[in-house]
Amino acid sequence: MKFNITRSWEKPQSFRVESVISQFTLQDVKLEKHFRGSIDIEDMSWQVGVIVGRSGTGKTTIAKQLFPDAYIRGFNYKEASILDDFPENLPTTDITRALSSVGFSSPPEWLKSYEQLSQGEKMRVDISRALLLEEPVIVFDEFTSVVDREVAKVSSLAIQKAIRRTEKRFIAVTCHYDVVDYLEPDWVLCTDDMSFTKKKLSTHPSPSRSGAAAHIYGPTLKTITI
For the segment 4-30, what is each residue's pLDDT rounded down to a tens digit? 999 888 888 899 998 998 988 888 877
For the segment 129-144, what is each residue's pLDDT rounded down to a tens digit? 999 998 999 999 999 9
- Whole-angstrom Cα distance, residue 54 to residue 131? 27
Cα–Cα nearest to 151, from 131, 178, 130: 178
| Confidence (pLDDT) at 27 | 83
Alpha-carbon 205 to chain mean position:
19
User: In this structure, are strands 137-140 and 169-174 parallel, antiparallel, or unpaired?
Assistant: parallel
**pLDDT above 50 (res 212):** no
Share above pLDDT 70 across residues of the chain, in percent, rounded to a whole number: 88
Which residues, including other chains, have CB under 8 Å from residue 208's CB and lie 6 or more apart?
none
pTM over 0.85: no
At 171, the amino acid letter reads: I
pLDDT band at 62 (very low <50, low <70, confident <90, very high): very high
| Confidence (pLDDT) at 208 | 36
Bigger pLDDT: 153 vs 209? 153
pLDDT band at 210 (very low <50, low <70, confident <90, very high): very low
Segment among 71-80, 140-149, 199-208 with least mean pLDDT: 199-208
Share above pLDDT 90 across residues of the chain, in percent, rounded to a whole number: 66
Which residues, including other chains, have CB under 8 Å from residue 53's CB and lie 6 or more apart?
59, 175, 190, 191, 192
DSSP track, the chain: -EEEEEEE-PPP-SHHHHHHHHHTT-TT---EEEEEEE---TT---SEEEEE--TTSSHHHHHHHH-TTTB-------SSSGGGGS-TTS-HHHHHHHHHHTT---HHHHTS-GGGS-HHHHHHHHHHHHHTSS-SEEEETTTTTTS-HHHHHHHHHHHHHHHHTSS-EEEEEES-GGGHHHH--SEEEETTTTEEEE----S---TT-TTHHHHHHGGGGTT---
- Whole-angstrom Cα distance, residue 85 to residue 70? 20
Structural domains of the chain ordered from first start: 38-221 (3.40.50.300)
What end-to-end distance do the CA atoms of the chain give, in Å? 29
**pLDDT above 60 (res 75):** yes
For residue 216, CA distances in Å to 21, 28, 44, 166, 185 come to 45, 43, 22, 25, 11
For the segment 135-191, what is each residue's pLDDT rounded down to a tens digit? 999 999 999 988 889 989 999 999 999 999 999 999 999 999 999 999 999 999 999
**Residue 148, phi then psi, degrees to nearest 5:** -55, 145
For the segment 25-54, what is each residue's pLDDT rounded down to a tens digit? 888 877 888 999 999 988 778 999 999 999
